[in-house]
Amino acid sequence: MKYNTEINRRKTFAIISHPDAGKTTLTEKFLLFGGAIQTAGAVKSNKIKKHATSDFMEIERQRGISVATSVMSFEYKGKLINLLDTPGHKDFAEDTYRTLTAVDSVVLVIDSVNGVEDQTRRLMEVVRMRNTPVIVFVNKMDRDGKNRFDLLEEIEKELNIALHPMTWPINSGKDFKGVYNLHDKNLVLFTANTRGLDEDVLQIDDLSDKMLTTRVGETDAAQLREDVELIDGVYGRLDAAAYLSGKTAPVFFGSAVNNFGVKEMLDTFIRIAPVPMPRQTSLREINPEEDKFSGFVFKIHANLDPKHRDRIAFLRVCSGRFERNTYYHHVRMERNFRFSNPYTFLARQKDVIDEAYPGDVVGLFDTGNFKIGDTLTEGENFFFTGIPSFSPEIFKEVVNKDPMKTKQLEKGLLQLTDEGVAQLFTQFGGNKKIIGCVGELQFEVIQYRLLQEYGASVQFNTLPFYKACWLTSKDKKKLEDFARFKMANIGEDKDGHMVYLAQSEWFLNTERQNNPDIEFHFTSEIHK
């Protein structure tokens, strides 16, 4: 219990959205409020003019998308906020999934013009698996979008979550005049293109106040009164317990690019978002208040600094206090390690720290000792659960275009797949290297990084596989026989676990029926 003050000061959350909903822009506005940056980088029409703070990989800057999760820490109103910005692009969903295992709550950004989109649905499925608390930010209110009541109904129905409006918009598009804060009873007026941190806020405790009509006009004042009466009748007060259990999501309306409506959400977030929560392990539930340190690696990133060939493992602290230059037990390797330069992050900037507490994300220099999901403790042998690898959907053979660079290629493939951008399989009875990814863009990123960071030039040849399934069986001989008969479709993952590469759903179902003693798994977590 001796670290309670530090634990209760921390809020660790991720921002998630469909691509182009305005997630990276919102991230920057949070950093502005926290005083972590002075000017925002504009991410517009996929061309980054001033590079967005959280997009630090060259290919991200070229394309204007986030493909690697960034970690940013900043202080706001006495709270230490750890913000994890996630890739919006669907091809990087697995990286986002792992990031969601390291946070205690989520801010979901919805584009008011497009409403709920494919990636929004996928991400929310992951959030629901863990009952993570969600706050919704409806962005781009200064554009002509959907009717606000219709949009709320669509979000509730599509994402299977109850909503609770905390602010309410006055019009949208070119007629957007601002929002009424239902909790604080004040009117926040919108001025386009100001992008400042000072908002025009009027305290209006009673909506019959003539000041409302003076500022927004008679028609809009009457509409707001009607809307608020309806909302109060339907939603009442926010049930904090329902939010914390992931059943109800508070909703805010605004325009991230104009820095409008963001402060109201941030102020509510620090008031209601959960502090670091208990985590499940292979032995027992670990409470943040426990005296002994524990944490897990949820992300690995190589070559964060192009000048130095570094690898950084991102560790979420789960209990106790992490201290610099202290030996900790690496459970999988059964060895002790100490870290002389642990970092906290503000995107690209790194600061060496002496200590960290539950909720914090620490960057550890790694010389190849870490894999995603690894656990560090003060001696106890357990590992944190719930960090699987999913079956890829696209498979390609790696063809080396420069045999002189074979060693560099092998090193690059191992390091990049350790990061979790893709999965690496080796076909049985040969050295054919197969990369499995969720989307095409990942192959572009791997090809680009192999060349830029390792000097290895490759081409990818598409393979006719539909899914990778991890195989287990109580009968070892049956597994060996199956592998021998299906050699062309059998490979190993990086940890030496047997994988069946099915050509189609029909083939997969046939093999499952014909081999009842063999289990076919769609995630790798069974081996943990």
Same fold, 279-377 and 394-527: no
Instruction: Quote the CA–CA distance of 258 and 299 in Å, as a whole number.
Output: 32
pLDDT range class, residue 397, cuts 50, 70, 90: very high
- Look at the alpha carbons of 183, 187, 193, 198 in this order and tell me if their dihedral is positive or negative: negative
Judged against a pLDDT cut of 50, whether residue 56 lies above it is answered with no
Neighbours of 144 (CB within 10 A): 14
CATH class in words for 4-174+239-272? alpha beta
Sheet-wide strand order for 167-170 = 167-170, 178-181, 186-189, 200-203
Contacts with 324 (C-beta within 8 Å, 6 or more apart), sequence order: 339, 340, 341, 342, 352, 353, 354, 355
- For residue 456, the SS3 value is coil
pLDDT range class, residue 45, cuts 50, 70, 90: very low
Candidates 74, 162, 181, 101; CA nearest to 388 is 101
- For residue 361, the SS3 value is strand
pLDDT digits (tens, 9 = 90+) for 268-304: 999 999 999 999 898 999 999 999 999 999 888 765 5
CATH of domain 394-527: 3.30.70.3280
Look at 173-182, 224-233, 301-310, 378-387 and tell me which has the smallest mean pLDDT.
301-310
Instruction: Quote the CA–CA distance of 448 and 451 in Å, as a whole number.
Output: 5
Instruction: Quote the CA–CA distance of 168 and 138 in Å, as a whole number.
Output: 10
pLDDT digits (tens, 9 = 90+) for 404-425: 998 999 888 888 887 777 889 9
Look at 127-136, 400-409, 421-430, 491-500 and tell me which has the smallest mean pLDDT.
421-430
Where do the structural domains in the chain lie, given as residue ranges? 4-174+239-272, 279-377, 394-527
Decide which of 1.10.8.100, 3.30.2320.20, 1.10.510.10, 3.40.50.300 is the CATH code for 279-377: 3.40.50.300
CA 468 vs CA 48, 475, 528: distances in Å: 37, 21, 17
pTM for this prediction: 0.78
- Look at the alpha carbons of 399, 402, 405, 408 in this order and tell me if their dihedral is positive or negative: negative
Candidates 346, 348, 343; CA nearest to 307 is 348
Residue 193 confidence (pLDDT): 59
Instruction: Quote the CA–CA distance of 522 and 469 in Å, as a whole number.
Output: 5
